[in-house]
Amino acid sequence: MNRIQKKIWMLAAVVLVIMAVIWITLTYYNQKTQSQYNDILQRYLRMNEVTSASQHVVTDLNNYLLEPSEVNLDKLDHSKANIRRAKDDVQQLKNTENEFALTNYMNLIDSLIETTDRSLMFYSESDTEASNREFTEATRISKYISEMTLTLIDTELKTYDRFYRGIIDQSAELKKLGIWLMLLITFLLLMITYWFSLSITRPVQQLTRAANELSAGKFDKEIKVDSNDEISFLAQTFNRMRININNLFQEIQQKAQLEHELQESKLLLKESQLRNLQSQINPHFLFNTLNTLSKKAYLEGSEETSDLLVNVAGLLRYNLKWLDRSVTLRDEVMVIQQYMNIQKARFTDRLTLNMEIDESCLDVQIPGLTLQPIIENAVIYAVEPREDGGVIWIRIKDSDERVMVEVEDDGPGIPEHKIQPILAGEVVHTDGASTGIGFTNVVKRLRLFYGVEDVMEIHSRMGYGTKIIMKIPKTKGVEQHVKANDRG
């Protein structure tokens, strides 16, 4: 944590260090140059001091010779001490270039002092002439010292010429260095600041973009922020939130879908019932009437008619009774047999029915009244319109996980362009000959019941017949679906 703060501190520290380094360097350099200047000045000052000190000696000597008092002697001693000190100072200026001249110079000073002393000595011995001679010599030596000072300073200037020029050049270079350094630092600081600000603002921008997308409802895009500070932490949290919201959202959608499907299946059921009710004219009345008719036919010796009536009554009862619940395939097959008995009575020889039924498959659960509408269709299209009748095959076979129910006829077939809409569950306008519950109704109900899309295949060749295959899962699909939801 505290990464952003750390970064800011780091930037400040870098700037501070750079400034400190430059300041220290320049100060150090300045000090160095200053002391060099001082040294140089010192040299000249010291040499100059010798000249004036030597002149003082001569003046004081003169004063003493003219007026030999204690004060003047003190003065003379003082100036002699001065010139000795000046000599010691000059001694330090010795270097390889001026060694010879400087030694001469110092010896000259010695000579001056000696001559002065001699003059004093002669004076004290009252040898005025000798004393004066020595004084003249001292004056001359003092003059030589002045001249030599100038020569030395001149030599000095020549010797140090390169040095002085160096200093001037260096100060010019220093000015240039200042400019370059400023450019370099400006550049570097701009770069560092840019990089630094980017490292803060880029994650923020990414986060902003992600937030925008999230607010626009795109929950499936992952939020990724390439940074290692608080923003990244924020982004991770944000991403987790997005995933949670996304999951919740999907769950709600699934539930809504499920509800929608349930609603739909209920509607379909209602529709079937309504259709059925429409076709029931007071079913109990009809039912009782049919039974009475059957008894009557039986009593009148027409057993065949009586059976037919019983079949019709059974069919009717089945219709009323099982429509809204699941039945076994066995019940369906029984109804179909009753139905076919009635149709046989109607079409006699024109209808040939072949049934191949695998008894082991008949315990499969199936929504009520699913087979009958299909067979009714086959009868309507393949048998009814044809003078010479038609053949209908019904096969129930076991196929691993599913039970295959095939209804085949040798009728005119279904045009290719109609097959798809039927399977897709769209309402197909038929010519109204069917008893009610349509083909599409069956498809939808099967799908809803098993929760599987792939429940029916239609194979048809124009002029040769149609084969409808219902693929019924052995386990009930809704249970699977519920289980799947529990797991999710």
Partner 1 sequence: MRKAGIITLSLLCIILCYFTYITAQKAFQSDWELPAASTQKEERYRLVLITQELETPFWDKVGAGAKEQAQRDGASLEVWGSYGKNQEDFLKKLEIAIQSKVDGIIVQGLDTQKFKDLTKIKAAFYGIPIITVANDVPKAESLRKTYVGSDQYLAGEMLAQLMLSDMGPKGNVVLLSDSQKEYYQEQRLKGMREVFSDYPNVKTVYAETADTREQVIATTQDLLNQYPDTNGFIAVNANIAGAMIQEIGRRGQVQLYHIYSFDDGSESISLLKSGKIDGMIEQSPEMMGRKSVNLLIKWLSNEKVPLDADGYLSDVRILKAKD
- Contact residues toward partner 1 (CB under 8 A) are 29, 94-101, 103-105, 107-108, 110-111, 140-141, 144, 148, 159-160, 162-163, 165-166, 169-170, 173-174, 176-177, 180-181, 183-184, 187-188, 191
What's the closest the beta carbon of residue 219 comes to partner 1, in angstroms? 32
Q: CA 264, CA 445: separation in Å to the nearest integer? A: 10
Q: Give the chain's largest Cα–Cα span.
A: 202
Between 106 and 293, whose beta carbon lies closer to partner 1?
106
Q: For residue 85, give Cα distances in angstroms to 57, 91, 94, 283, 384.
A: 13, 10, 15, 150, 151
Q: Are strands 351-357 and 390-399 parallel, antiparallel or unpaired?
A: parallel
CB of 91 to partner 1, least distance (A): 10
Nearer to partner 1, 172 or 241 (CB): 172
The minimum distance between CB 47 and partner 1, in angstroms, equals 16
Q: Which of 56, 82, 171, 76 is nearest to 119 (CA)?
A: 76
For residue 21, the minimal CB distance to partner 1 (Å) is 12
Task: Determine the Cα–Cα distance for residues 112 and 145; give it in Å rounded to an integer.
Answer: 9
Q: Say how far apart CA 339 and CA 314 lie, in whole Å.
A: 9
Nearer to partner 1, 168 or 241 (CB): 168
Q: Which is nearer to partner 1, 33 or 434 (CB)?
A: 33
Distance CA 235, CA 232 (A): 5
Amino acid code (one letter) for 225:
V
Under the phi-then-psi rule, with left for phi > 0, alpha for psi from -120 to 50, and beta for the rest, what region is 250?
alpha
Least Å distance between CB 52 and partner 1? 19
The H or E element containing residue 62 is helix 3-66
The CB-of-4 to partner 1 minimum distance in angstroms stands at 25
Minimal distance in Å, beta carbon 213 to partner 1? Answer: 25
Q: Output 181 or 380, the one with its CB closest to partner 1.
A: 181
Handedness of CA 373, 374, 378, 381 (dihedral sign): positive
Query: Quick one: 89 or 261, whose CB is closer to partner 1?
Result: 89
Q: What sign for the dihedral angle of Cα 261, 262, 263, 267?
A: positive
Measured from the CB atom, the residue of 160 and 347 that comes closer to partner 1 is 160
Question: Residue 12's CB: how many other CB atoms inside 10 A?
Answer: 10
CB nearer to partner 1: pick between 107 and 288: 107
